Amino acid sequence: MKIFLMLISGIAWTVVYIDCIRIGFKHKTYAIPLWALALNISWEIQHGIIGFHILGPSLQVVINGIWALFDIIILITFFKFGKKYFPKNIKNKWFYIWGILVLLVSFVVEFIFIVEFGRILGGGYSAFLQNLLMSVLFIRMLVQRNSAEGQSTTIAISKFVGTLAPTVLFGIVGSITMGGPNKLMLWTGILIAVIDVIYIMMLQKAKQKERLNEKSFLF
């Protein structure tokens, strides 16, 4: 059961990253909000390095490394295409400075979680909390762009499934390394699931509206 849930989560999140890269270059945009992306990269790099130091080249360490590479490519799409969303009256150099600052802050935040709660609990808590932030920021991105640009149903549903699996694993089934079922992860996971469903519904409506506008334009 535990291996199955971990496998489902790993596959689903890999689909998220691959489709984010695909759609980012296709739409000439970035598909993951900056703060969520920066926190993800920081988590994967720090836990990849610490995990390798403790466990060696284990499966999870390898997966963290692959996800970090995917996220770095998505970060490239942010720096390559993200300027168009930045205020026009602010010089371009501040766009790059802001991106670097967000990355630095994210690295510090992830490190604080490890120092305060340890590698296992700190990694679990930060992963769920930044996932919750990502869910909220996806809705914000949809509203700000006023379109489905840089977003896809594949990304939205895969994120939902990829988070639901570890919510069941760590919040209900329980893990020895986590000290049994974890209420914080359970309730944070439930909140994420609710917001993700809302986002999927909003995204579908936005796509439907765009399809209707395209048909109206053609006729």
User: SS3 of 76, please?
Assistant: helix
pLDDT value of residue 177: 64
* Predicted model pTM: 0.91
Give me the pLDDT at residue 62, please. 80
Give the separation between CA 176 and CA 170, rounded to whole angstroms: 9
pLDDT band of residue 211 (cuts 50, 70, 90) is confident
Look up residue 34 and give its DSSP letter: H
Query: Domain range for residue 8?
Result: 2-218
Phi-psi region of 97 (alpha: psi -120 to 50; beta: other; left: phi over 0): alpha
pLDDT, position 51: 72
Q: How many CB atoms lie within 10 A of CB 181?
A: 14
Residue type, 188: T
pLDDT in the model for residue 105: 98
Q: What are phi and psi of 212, to 5 degrees?
A: -65, -40
Q: Does position 91 have pLDDT exceeding 90, yes or no?
A: no
Give the pLDDT confidence score for residue 53 in this predicted structure: 73
Number of domains in the chain: 1
CA distance 75 to 31: 9
Dig out the tokens for 96 from the structure.
């790059």
